[in-house]
Amino acid sequence: MELLGVHMRVDAVGNLRGFYPAAQPNSPRLLIGSHLDTVPNAGAYDGVLGVVLAIALLEGLQGRRLPFGIEVVGFSEEEGVRFGTPFIGSRALVGRLDQKLLDVHDAQGISVRKAIENFGLNPDEIPQAELQKDTLGYLELYIEQGPILEKLNLPLAAVEAIAGQSRLEFAFLGRANHAGTTPMHLRCDAITGAAEWISAVERLAHEVPGLVATVGKIEAKPGAANVIAGEARLPLDIRHGSDEIRLRAVNDLIREAHEIAARRGLSVRESVLLNQAAVAMDSFLTAEIEKAILKTGCKPHRMVSGAGHDAMILAEKVPAAMIFLRTPGGISHHPAESVAVEDVERAIECGLHLLDQLASSPESYKRIKRA
Ligand code: GLV
Ligand code: MN
C-alpha cells in the first residue's frame, strides 16, 4: 500500500486501513475490504483474498484518481473464533462495538477490551473508527466458499443477500463421578445429554428446508477417560435466509435442550452471543456489479451468501455489495480451499469496470450515507 503512496493506519479495534485519495479534496469515499483473521486449520483465501484484491484494484488504477477516494480496510476478528462473537472489527465502523461486547471473554478469560489494550491500542478511541459521513458505499470481494458457481461453470457472481445467523453457547451441567463405580442408572452425565441434543440439532436442520445448524466443538470437564463429565460446553451456529424461521429454530432447540436436561437430571444454561438478521445487498450496486461482470465476458449470476460477511454489518449504515469468486470443490474453512488464478484476474477486471461505472454514474453520489 505504501508503494502506492497510501498511508496505512491501525484503528482502535485493530482494523488495518489505508486511504487512496480522490482527484479532488473533500470528495466522498468508497470502502473496499474484507477480513484478515481466520479459523483454525483454515485455507489461504477466506477474507484475506478480498483485502489483497482491494489493493490490486488500486494498483490497476495505475495512479489514476477517481471522483471518490478509496479506503481499503482489512478487518479484524470477523470469524468470531477467539471470543465466540464475529464481526468485532466491522461493528466498530457502524458504532455497534458496545460495552457488553468489550466485556466478552476468550477461553483464557481475556476480555475484548483487554485484548485490544494488550495489542497496544486504546479502546476509548473506538468511536473514532466509525464510518465517515461521506461514505459512498462498501464493496467486498470474496470466494463463494460453496459449490454453486462451480456447478454453473461461472467464475463470478453478484451477492444479493446474506443469510442471517445466530450463535449461542450451551452448558450442560451434571455430576462428575467415577467411571468404574457409578452404575449407569445413577449417573448425571453432561456429555451424553449434550450428545442427545446435538442429534436433535441435526434432525431439526434436516427437517426445515434451507436451515443449516452446526455444533463445531465440545469441551467436557473435568476431561478424563475415567471420569463421567460433570460439564459439557458447546456452541450452536444456526443460519437461514428467513429470520423468522431461524429464530423459531433457535427457540425450539433451546426448549429441546431443557427437556433433554430435565429428563436426564441435568441442568442447562444457554447464552445468545449473536442474532444477526439476514441482510439484502444494495440493489443499485448489485446491478452495477452485474454490468461489470458482463463486461468481463462472463454471464452474471445473483446468489445468496450462506456465509456471514463484514458487508452485512456495513449494510446497516451504507450501501453494501459483494462480488463472489468461484471456489474449486466448494471447499472452505479447510486447508484445501483454493481459487483459480484466471478467476482472480477476472475479478480484478470486473472490479475495475465497476469503479469506472461508479465514477461516471450520478446515481452513485445520490446515495451517500443512509444513516
Ligand atoms: C464466516 O466465515 C462465517 O462463519 O460465515
Ligand atoms: Mn470464514
d(CA 183, ligand 1 centre) in Å: 42
What does the pLDDT read at residue 369?
A: 55
User: Which CATH superfamily groups domain 2-163+278-370?
Assistant: Zn peptidases (3.40.630.10)
What does the pLDDT read at residue 185?
A: 97
Helix axes 190-207, 243-263, angle to 10 degrees: 150
- What gap in Å lies between CA 271 and CA 142, rounded to an integer? 31
Nearest bound ligand to the CA of residue 333: 2
Q: Where are the domains of the chain?
A: 2-163+278-370, 164-276
Residues less than 5 Å from ion ligand 2, measured at CB: 46
Q: Which residue has the cell 483487554?
A: 114
Instruction: Tell me, using a 6 A CB cutoff, whether residue 79 lines ligand 1.
Output: yes
Ligand 1 atom closest to the Cα of residue 333 is: 2
Ligand 1 atom closest to the Cα of residue 145 is: 2
List Cα–Cα distances, 128 to 71, 312, 319, in angstroms: 15, 21, 21
pTM of the model: 0.92
Instruction: Give 250-309 pLDDT, tens digit per residue.
Output: 999 999 999 999 999 999 999 999 999 999 999 999 999 999 999 999 999 999 999 999
Q: Are 188 and 262 in contact (CB under 8 A)?
A: no
**Cα of 152 vs its chain's centroid, Å:** 25
The 3-state secondary structure of 255-314 reads HHHHHHHHHCCCEEEEEEEEEECCEECCHHHHHHHHHHHHHCCCCCCEEEECCCCHHHHH
Which CATH architecture is the domain 164-276 placed in? 2-Layer Sandwich (3.30)
pLDDT over threshold 80, residue 213: yes
Averaged pLDDT of the chain: 96
Instruction: Tell me, using a 6 A CB cutoff, whether residue 307 lines ligand 1.
Output: yes
d(CA 308, ligand 1 centre) in Å: 5
List Cα–Cα distances, 249 to 171, 216, 242, 268, 352, in angstroms: 18, 18, 11, 18, 42
Nearest bound ligand to the CA of residue 334: 2
